[in-house]
Amino acid sequence: MYLPRSLISQLYLQLLRSHHPLSPPVLILVALEPDALCACRILTTLLKRDYIAHKIQPIAGYGDLARAGQELVRPMRTTDGGSGGVVVCLGVGGLVDLSEILCLTNEQDESDEMGGVEVWVLDARRPWNLVNIFGGYSEHLRDREYAAEMDLAAMRRGRGVDKGCINRSYKRGSGGIIVFDDGDIEEDLSRERDAYYALEAMPEVDDDSDDGSSSESEDDANSLEGGSKKRKSWSGREMEDSDDEDDERPRQRRRSNSSSPITSSPSNRRRAIGHDSSNESRTPTPEPSFVSPPTSRQPSARTLRRRLLRMKSKHESILQAYYSTGTAYSEPISSLMYSLASELGREDNDLLWLAIVGSSSMEISGRTMTGVGISSSSESGGSAGWGGSRGERIRQIMRDEVHRLNPPEGIESFRDVPGSNTDVIPTTGRSPADTSIRISPEPRFLLVRHWSLYESMLHSPYLASRLHVWTENGRKRLHKLLAKMGISLTQCHQNYNHMDMELKRVLRSRLLKYAPMYGLEGLVPPVASGHSSNREGWGFVRSWGWKACLSATDVAVILGSILEVGPSAASSWESGAASSRQLESTTKSETDSANLHPRFWSAYDALSPTGSDSPTSLVESLPLAQHLHRAILRTGTSLLSKNQIRHLRAFRIAVVKDGPDVKLFTNPGALTKLALWVAEAIQVQERDRSESKMGKKKILGTPLVLAGLDEDRGVYVVVGTGGGGGVVDFAAIAKKNEERRAKKEATDKKKKEREERRRKRAAERARRSEGEHDEDGDEDEETEDSEEDSSSDDDESEDEKSLYGNKRLVRNRFGIAFQEVVQETSARVRIDSFEHSVVEVQKEDLSGFLEALSFRSVVG
C-alpha cells in the first residue's frame, strides 16, 4: 500500500489517537546515512513531544535488516504472542519485499495475515519494490469460499485502499506495509500499477504447455472464461452449460450456436440453449441462422489461451522495464519527514535545519536522480543539485521556510560582524543568543570556515577537477587565480577566520570576476538580492551564538566522516602525533562491521537539539573530516598521475590496494566519495580534450568502477558510479514527447484500420455461418490480427522504454550488472549494502568478476 503525499499526516494522527501507556514502542530502523539520520532526528522529536515511546535500531545492510526482522519484528506479531505495533523504516527496505525479510508472514501459513504489525517505509532510493506499494495488505477476509464470492478489490476498497492507494477512510491497526509517497507513485507509476493488478487478476497459465487441443489448454481457457477463486468471472454458469452441450454437437451446428457473443444478453443465451436442447433427439438438419446483429464466433480455447499469454507477457514486460532502468534517488526522506512535521503544525528551526542538512548530504554523497554519480547541474553556479528542477523546487521551499521562520531583524540590531553584508560568508552569529538560519552565498569550497582558504580550494572536488590540481601545472593555475584576485599566499594559508577583513569582503566579487577565466563559472552562486526566491543556488548557514557557525554542507561532510571513518580516531588525527601503526590499528577496528553501530550513535548525538552543546561534537570531529578529504586528494592524485585507471569496454576501472590511506577506503561511503572525485576529474579531462579538438561539446563521461582492498578480510570493496548527467535534459524530453505523440497517432490510425478489417471479416463470417467453412482459416485470421496487435504492443513497449530512458537519462545500472555477473559466474560476491552499486568480491575472484562485468550494460 502507499500513502499519498496529500494524506501524509493521517497515519501519525491515528497513531497519536490510539496510543496509550501500555502500547508497544514504535520501532525505528535507520540506515547509516546522514539523510536517514536527520529524518530519524525529526521523527524522534515528534514522538517525544507526543510522549510516544520508541526504540531506534541502526541498520547497516540487508543482513542487519534480516536479523532485526527475526529478533525484533517477528516477536511483535500477534500470531507469535506479541501485541502488534508500528515499525518505521528510514532509508531501508524500499527495494526488497519487506513482508519476507522482516518475517511478517509465516511460510507455513497460507494467509497474508501480518500479525497487527504496520510497517511505514520512507526511502529515497528507486526503483520501488512494487509488492510493497501495490501489495502489502494484511487481509482478515482470506476465507477461500468467501473470497471466491466477493471481489478482492471490493474488499480492499472497503478497508480504505483502492488499487494500493490509501484514502481517508483507511483505519490503521490490522497491519500491513505502507510506503510514504513523495509524489513519484501517483505521478509516474500508473502503467506499472495497471500492469501489476492486471497480472494479479489473471488466472494461472503455464507458459510451457502445448498449444494443441489438450485438456490443459481447455482448462486454461475455461478458467479464463469462468474465472477463478479471486478473479473476475467472464461468463456465468449458463455459458458453461452451453459449452458442455456444444461439445456433443457436430462442428457446423456448434459454430452456428456459438455465434452469440459473450457480451450478449442473458435472454439471448437462454434462447440459444433452449433451441439446442429441443433439437438434441432429432437428426441433424440445417438450422436457420438467428444471429442478429452479425458478430464473430466465440474464440476457441487455444485462441483464448494465446491472448492470455500475450496479455501476460505485455504486463510483465512493463514491470520488467521499470526494474531494469537502474537505480536513482528521489526526494530526501528528511525533506519528506519535515513535510510531516509541517502538516502537524510542528515545524521550527531545529527540524528545518535537519531537513536542510539531510538534503545537502545527498549532494555530498553523489546521490542524484540518476543514481550514484557526478552531477552536471553545477555549471551555472551554486549547489551541485541532486534532482534537477524538482530538487531546486524543494530547495526553494526550504529558502522560503528559512525566510518565514527567521525574519530579518532591524538594521539597528545588526552588529558590525561578517554576515551583516550579504556578500560576505558569515562566520559567527549576530549575537550570543543567535541560533537563526540564514541564506548565504556559499562558494563551492570545502569547510572554508574551518580551514585556510588555500586548503579549502585545493580540496574542493569542483575546483580540483577543473584546475587539474593533481598536476604541477594545476597547482600553478590555482596560485595564478589567487594572485589575480590579489590574495597573497601568506593570507590564503591562514585560517579563514584570521584573514584580512577587507579580503573577505571582496572575495566574492573577485571570484565572480576572475573564476570564469579558468572555467569555474559555477564556483559561486549568481548575484541576487531581495526575497529568498531570487537566491537560487545559495546555501544555508546556522549560528550557535558566538560558539560556532556551520553551513549545511559543513555538517553533512562531518556527519558523513563520522559514519564512514569513525569518531575514535579524530583525536589522534587532530594531534597529528599518532604513528602509522596506531592509525592503522584504529582504522582497522573502525572498519569492523561490529563497530558500525557506535558510529551511528556518535553521529546521532552530534545532531542534538540547539539547547545543549550541539555544535561541540561537530566541531570536535572537524579534523576527522579534514583527514578523510586529504586522503581522497592524495589517493586520487596518485591514481591519475600514475595512470592507474584502465579503460575497459563499458567502464573505467581503478584499484586502491596500497598506500598510506588504503584502510580508509574499505568503507563503501569513503570509497564512493573517492570514486566521485576521480570520475569528475575524468569527465572534465574528456570535456577539455573534446573542446580542444572539435569545439565545445558536452561530454557525459565514462562510468567508473573503483575497488578498495581490505587485506584483513581478504576482499575487495567495489563501487560503481554513473557517468554523469545528474539532471534531466528537459528540452530533450520535450522533443522525445513530440516524437512519441506522433508515433502514437500513427499507431492509433493503424489500430482503427485493423478494427475496420475485423468488422468486415466478422460480417463475412456471419453471412457464411449457414454454410461450411474452415475453422482453421478463421483462426489464421485471428492469428494475423494477434500478430499485428503484438507488433503494436512491441511498439508501445519500445516507446515506454524510450520514456524511461529519457525520464531518467543515464541511470546507474551497476546493481543490475553485478547481480547478472553473480548469477552467471562462480565469483564469490557479497551484496549487503542498500546501495546496490556497492558489493564485496573475494580477492582471488576480482579479475574474473571485472572481466565478466565489462560485457554488461552499466548505464540505462
Average pLDDT, the chain: 76
Q: Per-residue pLDDT for 54 more than 60?
A: yes
- Could you tell me if 53 and 347 are in contact, meaning their C-beta atoms sit under 8 angstroms apart? no
Question: Where, residue-wise, is CATH 3.40.50.2300 in the chain?
Answer: 2-182
Q: Kindly report the pTM of this predicted structure.
A: 0.79
Q: Please name the residues in contact with 32: beta carbons below 8 A apart, sequence gap of 6 or more.
A: 58, 59, 60, 563, 596, 599, 600
- Is it the case that residue 584 has pLDDT exceeding 60? no
Sequence-ordered strand ranges (E) for 317-417? 328-329, 367-368, 371-372
pLDDT over 90 percentage in the chain: 33
- Residue identified by cell 559514519 is 563
CA nearest 47: which of 7, 66, 19, 72? 19
Q: Which cell numbers hold the place of 252?
A: 457446423
**Least confident among 59-73, 391-405, 628-642:** 391-405
- C-alpha cell, 255: 459454430
User: Within the chain, which residue ranges are assigned CATH 3.10.310?
Assistant: 637-727+813-853
> Do 258 and 299 contact (CB within 8 A), yes or no?
no
Please provide the CATH number assigned to the domain covering 637-727+813-853.
3.10.310
Residue predicted with more confidence, 385 or 38: 38
The Cβ of residue 716 has, within 10 Å, a number of other Cβ atoms equal to 24
The beta strands (E) that lie in 309-386 are given as 328-329, 367-368, 371-372
**What pLDDT score does 296 carry?**
60
268-280 burial code (b ≥16 CB/10 A, e <16):
ebeebbeebeeee
Q: For residue 386, what pLDDT band results from cuts at 50, 70 and 90?
A: low
Residue 281 reports pLDDT greater than 60:
no
Spatial distance between the Cα atoms of 726 and 377, rounded to a whole number of angstroms? 7
pLDDT band at 425 (very low <50, low <70, confident <90, very high): confident
Q: Inform me whether the pLDDT recorded for 256 exceeds 50.
A: no
Mean predicted confidence (pLDDT) in 786-805: 44
Distance CA 775, CA 798 (A): 34
CA 299 to each of CA 224, 305, 518, 763, 776: distance values in angstroms, whole numbers, following the listed order: 12, 10, 72, 16, 12
Query: What mean pLDDT comes out for the span 808-827?
Result: 80
β-partners of residue 859 are: 812
| Model pLDDT, residue 141 | 40
> Rounded to whole angstroms, how far apart are CA atoms 54 and 29?
11
Q: Band of the pLDDT at 388, cuts 50, 70, 90? A: low
pLDDT score for 622: 92
Would you put residue 413 in left (φ > 0), alpha (ψ -120 to 50) or beta? alpha
The CATH number, out of the four listed (3.20.20.70, 3.40.50.410, 3.30.1490.20, 3.40.50.2300), of the domain defined by the range 2-182: 3.40.50.2300
